[in-house]
Structure 1
Amino acid sequence: MHVVATAGHVDHGKSTLVRALTGSDPDRLEEERRRGLSIELGYCWTELVAPDGRSLGDVAFVDVPGHSRFVSTALAGVGPVPVAMLVVAADDPWMPQAAEHLAALDALGVRHGVLVVTRSDLADPAPAVARAREELAHTGLRDAPAVTVSGRTGAGLDDLRAALAGVLESVPQPDPEAAVRLWIDRRFTVHGTGTVVTGTLPAGTIRVGDTLCVGDEPVRVRGLESLGRPVESVRGVARVAVDLGGRAPEAISRGTVLVSPDAFEAVTTLDVRLTGDLTQRLPERPVLHVGAAMTTVRARPLGDRHARLALEHPLPLRLGDRALLRDPGSRTVWGVRVLDPAPPPLGRRGSARTRAAALASYDGALAGQLAARGLVRADLLRRIGVPTEPLPAGSVRAGDWLLSPERAARLRADLVAAVDRLATPLQPGVTPAALAHELDLPDAALVPPLVAPPLRIEEARVRRDRAPGLPPALARAVEGLAADLRDAPFAAPDAGRLAQLGLDPKTVAALHRTGHVLRVAEGVVLLPGADEEARDVLRGLPQPFTTSQARQALGTSRRVALPLLAHLDRTGRTLRLPDDRRQVRG
C-alpha cells in the first residue's frame, strides 16, 4: 500500500480531487458536507494503475483540512505520511495556507510529491503553475512533477495518475521488521467491539494478537482493518484501523502513539537542528508537531541553528526523527531534526555554547555516539535508534554498558593510579566496587574489562604487577628499621619512631604477613628472624630462667621482653613453667 496526504489552501479542491480519484467522499461529517469545508481528516483509497496497465496496488489518501483554524488537524494528517499532493487552484492566487502547508511539508522532510493545479476548466493554469514552481524551488519538493486537472470534468486525471505512479515507485520501501510506532489520528467506539484507533503506519508490521504499548500500559491487538477489509497483519506504509477491545486506556486520543514494547525511549528533553527562516526569533513556548502528536515545548536556543526542547509530555522519539515547530502567534514554522533524544544536562555558564559546537558536528553512527557520550547503556542507544553493532575498535562492552575508545583509554590510566592510591601493603588488591566508586563509574562491572598490564585480577581484586621486592617507600621504611636494630636487635623502636619511619599499624601488619618484619605484639616490631636469634641467646642462660634474666640477656626493655617471650611460647621455642620461669625447648 501507498499513503498520500493532500495539502493546500481551503477551498482549492483537495476533497474534490480525492473524490475524483477514488470515487469516495473523504468528508464524512454532516457539517463538512453542509459547509463544503473539510474539518476533520478524511480517508479514501483506490487501486492505482500505471499508464502501461500495471497495478501499483492500493493508494490511501489522507485528506486534510485547508482552513487556518484546523492547521493542527492538518499537521496530524501530514506528519506520518511520506508522499504529498500540494493542491493549488488555477483561479485563485497563491494563498497563505498553501504557503504554510508547503513550509510544513518541507520542515517534515517530505521529498516525494506532486504539484496539482486544479480548476483548469475555470482559468488558465499556467500562471498558477509558474507561481507554485517559484515557491517549491526552495523546498524539498522542488523536483515534484506538476499536473493540471479539473476535478469537475475529469480532465488531466490520467496525467495525475501517471505522475503519482512515477513518484510512488521512487519512494524507498520501509523495513517491515522495524519497531512499530503508530501515531493515532482518530479514536472511536464500535458497538460490540470496543475501542478502535486509526493511523498511518510508516514502517514495521502489526499482527492480530500482538501486544503494543501506550506509554507503560500494554494493549492487545484484537483485530485489524486496512482499506475497509479485515486482515491478519499490516505492514507499513499503510493506513490501519486497530481494534483494542473494551479495555483500552481512556487516555488514548489523537496524538497518542502505539509502540512495540521495549523499543522506544519516552523522552522529555531533546536537542535538535532547526531549518527554515532562522532570522525569526524562536519563541520560548512554541508548539511541536511530530507524527499526529502536538505538544507545547519550552525552547532554549543553542547557537543559531540548534535548540534544546523540553516537552510537556513524553514522546517516543528517535535520533533522526523529523518534526515541526510552530509559533501559533506569527504562524512561523521551523523544521526540526532530532539530533539527541537523550542529551546531557546544561549546567554552568557557557555550557549552551559548548553544546552548540558539539551539535554542529553531531554523528548519529555508533562511533560518533560513543565519542559524544563516552559512557552509555547499549539499551538506551537501541531505544533512541542507534545500532549497537559492530562495536568500534578500542571500545569496551561490559554487560549493557558501552565505553568509547577515548574514555576507555583514560579510565585505564586512571585505574592504575586508583590502584596505587587505594592499595596498601595490608591489602595490595582493590575490589572492583571500590575502584568504581573511586572513578565515579555507575557499575562495578565496568572495571574488569578495563584491567590491563600493569594491572591484573587476582582473587576478585585488582592488583598491580610488580617486580620482586617492596615499593620504594616501604623498602626505605624497612631499611630504617634495620638500621635502628643493627646494634640492638631486640630494642624495638617505640610508636613515635615507627611513625617517623612510615610504619603505621596497617603497614606493619602487611609487612609482617609478607615476612618483611616480625610483629610480636601491637607496637613491638623486630626484624625477621629475631625470634630465632632470641632463642639462641636464651639457650645460653642457665635453664630454667626468669623473665628478668631473659630481659637482661636480650638487652631490651620489659615492653619488648614480655611480648617477645609470649611469642616464643606460642611458637614452641620456649616452655613456660608453673612457677613463671621458662626454659628453651630442645
Structure 2
Amino acid sequence: MHVVATAGHVDHGKSTLVRVLTDTDPDRWAEERRRGMTIDLGYAWTKLPSGEWLAFVDVPGHERFVTNMLSGVGPVPAVMIVVAADEGWMPQSAEHLAAIDALGVRDGLLVVTRSDREDPETAIAEAQSEIVNTCLGEVEAVAVSGITGDGIPALRSALSRLVRRLPAPDDAAPVRLWVDRSFTIRGSGTVVTGTLPAGRVRVGDELLLAPGGARVRVRGLESLKERVDTVTAVARVAVNLRGVDKGAVTRGMALVTPEHWTITDQIDVRLRGIAAEVLPREPSLHIGSASTAVYVRPLGPDTARLTLASPLPLHIGDRAILRDPGSRRIAGLTVLDVCPPPIKRRGGGATMARELAGWPEVPDAQVLLSRHKLLRRADLVVMGCEPQGRPVAGDWLADPAHWESLRTDLTEAVAKHAANHPLDPGLTVDAARQQLGLPDRRLAEALVQPPLRLEAGRIVRPSQGPSLPPEVTEAVDRLRQDLERSPFQAPEASRLAQLRLTGRTLAAAARAGAVLRIADTVVLLPEAEAEAVRILGELRQPFTASEARRALDTSRRVVIPFLEFLDQRGHTVRVDGNSRRLKINK
C-alpha cells in the first residue's frame, strides 16, 4: 500500500476528487457535509491501474484547521496538491506548500480541478512556478473535472507513476505510529488509527504509548478494512490495543517500539526558511500528528534549542515544523540532538552554536560522541543513530580524544592522591569515577593501564620501592633495632603501639615492603622469611611446630601463624597434623 495526503484550498474540490477516485466520502462528519468543507482528517483508498492500493489522507484546507492539516501531512511520504482552475493559487495553498516544504516531502503530484469551468493551463503554470522552488521541485500536473469525470483516468495513471517513484520504506525500522484517531468498538476495546511510515506491526507486539510510557499489546490489526496479522509500511492501519482505555489515547500520541525512541522535552535543531532570532519565543511545533507549544532559545543564525511543553518520541534527523499561530509563518527544522547537554555557563550558548554550525544535516555516532564524550550503544539506538566503533568498557563508546584526556586526568589524580595521602594504598575506583565525572565504575577501571595498575579495588602507581613519610620510616628503624638480636621475637601489640606501627601506618609500611606482616599483631622484618627457610632447612625433616619454635628462638604466638605463612608462600608443606617439612623445588 502507498499513502498520499491531499492538500489545497477549502474550495478546490479535494473531497469531491477523492470521492470520485475512491467511491468513498472522506468527510466523516455531518457538519463537513453540511458546510461543504473538510474540517477534520478524512480517509479513503483505491486500487490503481498498476494493481497497487493507494490510501488518501484528505486534510482540511481552511486556515482555521491548519493544525488538523499538519496532523495529516506529517507522517505521509507524498502529497497531491489540489488547485482549482477557476480560482488559481491561493494564500492557503501557499501555507500548505510551505508546510510540505518544511517537512521535506519530495514526491508529489499537482491536480487542477474544475477544468470544466476554466482553462486549467493558467492555474497549472501558476502552481508549478510556486512548487518548483520547494523540495518537491518539478511535479507532474493533471487537469480533471470531478463533475464530468474528464481527466480521472489520466489522474489514476499519474498516481501509479507517483507511487512507483516513492523510495522503498524500511520495514525493519523501529515503529512510530502517530495516532490521528482513537475510538472504542464494543467487544474489542480501544482502537487507534494512523499512517505507518516505516517498520512492521504484528498482532501480539508490545508497543509503548508515548509520551505517557504505558506498555500496550496489539490485540488486532486492520488495513483497508481487512483484518490482518501483520502490517508493513507504508500503510494506513487501525490497531486494536489491549491494556489502555480510549480516554488515555489522543491524537498526537504515538505507538513506538520500546527502547528505540527518545521521549524528550528538549532538543537542538537546525532551522530552514527563517532565522532563529526572528522566531517567536513560543511557536507551535508540529511533527506527525502531534502539536505542542515550545520555547525557543536561539543559538546561532540557523540553530536553536527548543523546550517542549509536552515530550515527544523523537530521533536525530526528524523533520518538523515550527508555526507562529499569530503570523502564520512556518519554518522547517531538522532535529540535531534529542538529549542536548545543559547550557551551564555564560557564553555556553555561543559555544554550542559554533559546535552545531559544523555539524552535517543528520549527525552520525562520531559527531554525537564528540559532543557527549561518552555514550552507551543503547543511548545511540534510542537517539536514532547507528552505533559505530568498539566499546571501551561494557557497552560504553567514547570520543577518542576525550578518552585519552581521561587517561591523563586519572594519572594526575592518582599521583595527587598519593602525595596527599601517603598512607593510603591508592585511589579507590569509586573515588576516581567521581573525580573524573564518569557515569559507570567500569569506565574508571578501563582507564587503568601501565604504569598504573588495579589492586583490590584501588588504583596505584608503579612500585618504586618504599616511599614512606619520615615518621613511618623512623618507626620501622626502631622496630629493626628491637629485632636486631632476636629477629623472630615479634613485638607485642603494646610495643607496636609505642612504635606507632598500627592501623594505616602499619599497612603502609607493609605495602612498601618495609615490614613483613604475618598476622594482625605479628610483625617481622622483610628478611625474616628467607632466614627462616634457611634455619628450618637445617632441621631433621619433617619437623614439628615445637622444633621450629626452638630453632627460630621465638614463641608459639609467632611460630604458628609464621609456619602457616610459609605454607602459603610454598616454602613448607604439611606431612600430617603435627609436622611439616621444607618443600624441595626441583
Q: CA deviation at 1:461?
A: 3.3
Alignment check: 8 A CA contact 1:482 1:527 kept: no
Which residue matches 1:132?
127
1:310-325 equivalent positions in 2, closer than 5 A: 310-325=307-322
* C-alpha distance after superposition, 1:489-539 (max 9, x if no partner): 99xxxxxxxxxxxx99845652355443699xxxxx999889xxxxxxxxx
1:210-229 equivalent positions in 2, closer than 5 A: 210-214=205-209, 215-229=212-226
Query: What's the TM-score once normalised by structure 1's chain length?
Result: 0.80
2:228 to 231, 241, 257: 231
Which residue matches 2:162?
167
Between the aligned partners of 1:86 and 1:289, the Cα distance in structure 2 is 20
1:291-310 equivalent positions in 2, closer than 5 A: 291-310=288-307
Alignment check: 8 A CA contact 2:184 2:246 kept: no
Which residue matches 2:18?
18
Between the aligned partners of 1:512 and 1:383, the Cα distance in structure 2 is 51
Alignment check: 8 A CA contact 1:425 1:507 kept: no
| Equivalent position amino acid for 1:403 in 2 | A
3-state SS in 2 of match to 1:415: helix
Between the aligned partners of 2:278 and 2:258, the Cα distance in structure 1 is 39
Q: CA deviation at 1:433?
A: 1.6
Which residue matches 2:434?
437
3-state SS in 2 of match to 1:250: helix
3-state SS in 2 of match to 1:140: coil
> In the alignment, is residue 277 of structure 1 matched against residue 292 of structure 2?
no
| Equivalent position amino acid for 1:510 in 2 | A
1:476–1:405: structure 2 CA closer, same or farther, 3 Å change rule? farther
Alignment check: 8 A CA contact 1:27 1:38 kept: yes
Q: CA deviation at 1:459?
A: 3.7
Alignment check: 8 A CA contact 1:425 1:511 kept: no
Q: CA deviation at 1:270?
A: 0.5
3-state SS in 2 of match to 1:218: strand
Between the aligned partners of 1:263 and 1:279, the Cα distance in structure 2 is 30
2:409 to 406, 414, 421: 414
3-state SS in 1 of match to 2:368: helix
Alignment check: 8 A CA contact 1:196 1:245 kept: no
Q: CA RMSD in A?
A: 3.7
1:332-347 equivalent positions in 2, closer than 5 A: 332-347=329-344
3-state SS in 2 of match to 1:397: coil
Alignment check: 8 A CA contact 2:424 2:504 kept: no
When structure 1 is superposed on structure 2, of 26-35 and 68-77 the one drifting more is 26-35
Alignment check: 8 A CA contact 2:217 2:243 kept: no
| Equivalent position amino acid for 2:178 in 1 | W
| Equivalent position amino acid for 1:251 in 2 | A
1:518–1:219: structure 2 CA closer, same or farther, 3 Å change rule? closer
When structure 1 is superposed on structure 2, of 274-283 and 129-138 the one drifting more is 274-283
Which residue matches 2:508?
510
1:201 to 180, 183, 196: 196
Q: CA deviation at 1:460?
A: 4.0
| Equivalent position amino acid for 1:137 in 2 | V
Unaligned runs of at least 5 residues, structure 2? 486-500, 518-522, 529-553, 560-586
* C-alpha distance after superposition, 1:283-302 (max 9, x if no partner): 11101111001111111111
When structure 1 is superposed on structure 2, of 188-197 and 109-118 the one drifting more is 188-197
Alignment check: 8 A CA contact 2:132 2:139 kept: no
Q: CA deviation at 1:312?
A: 0.9
1:246–1:219: structure 2 CA closer, same or farther, 3 Å change rule? closer
Query: What's the TM-score once normalised by structure 2's chain length?
Result: 0.80
Which residue matches 2:149?
154
Between the aligned partners of 1:247 and 1:571, the Cα distance in structure 2 is 73
Between the aligned partners of 1:63 and 1:391, the Cα distance in structure 2 is 45
* C-alpha distance after superposition, 1:454-477 (max 9, x if no partner): 12233443333345x245x86999
* C-alpha distance after superposition, 1:478-498 (max 9, x if no partner): 599989x99xx99xxxxxxxx
Which residue matches 1:558?
none
Which residue matches 2:369?
370
3-state SS in 1 of match to 2:286: strand
1:458 to 448, 455, 460: 455
1:8–1:82: structure 2 CA closer, same or farther, 3 Å change rule? same
> In the alignment, is residue 262 of structure 1 matched against residue 259 of structure 2?
yes
Which residue matches 2:109?
114
Q: CA deviation at 1:349?
A: 1.3
> In the alignment, is residue 62 of structure 1 matched against residue 57 of structure 2?
yes
Between the aligned partners of 1:352 and 1:317, the Cα distance in structure 2 is 22
3-state SS in 2 of match to 1:91: coil
| Equivalent position amino acid for 1:4 in 2 | V
1:360–1:34: structure 2 CA closer, same or farther, 3 Å change rule? same
Q: CA deviation at 1:208?
A: 1.5
Between the aligned partners of 2:475 and 2:239, the Cα distance in structure 1 is 84
Between the aligned partners of 2:463 and 2:508, the Cα distance in structure 1 is 16
Q: CA deviation at 1:314?
A: 1.0
Between the aligned partners of 2:119 and 2:398, the Cα distance in structure 1 is 64
When structure 1 is superposed on structure 2, of 330-339 and 218-227 the one drifting more is 218-227
Alignment check: 8 A CA contact 1:426 1:506 kept: yes
> In the alignment, is residue 357 of structure 1 matched against residue 328 of structure 2?
no
Between the aligned partners of 1:119 and 1:21, the Cα distance in structure 2 is 15
* C-alpha distance after superposition, 1:383-419 (max 9, x if no partner): 110112x316xxx432243221112111111122222
* C-alpha distance after superposition, 1:41-70 (max 9, x if no partner): 111101111xxxx42x10000011100111
1:28–1:505: structure 2 CA closer, same or farther, 3 Å change rule? closer
Between the aligned partners of 1:72 and 1:315, the Cα distance in structure 2 is 17
Unaligned runs of at least 5 residues, structure 1? 491-502, 520-524, 531-566, 573-586
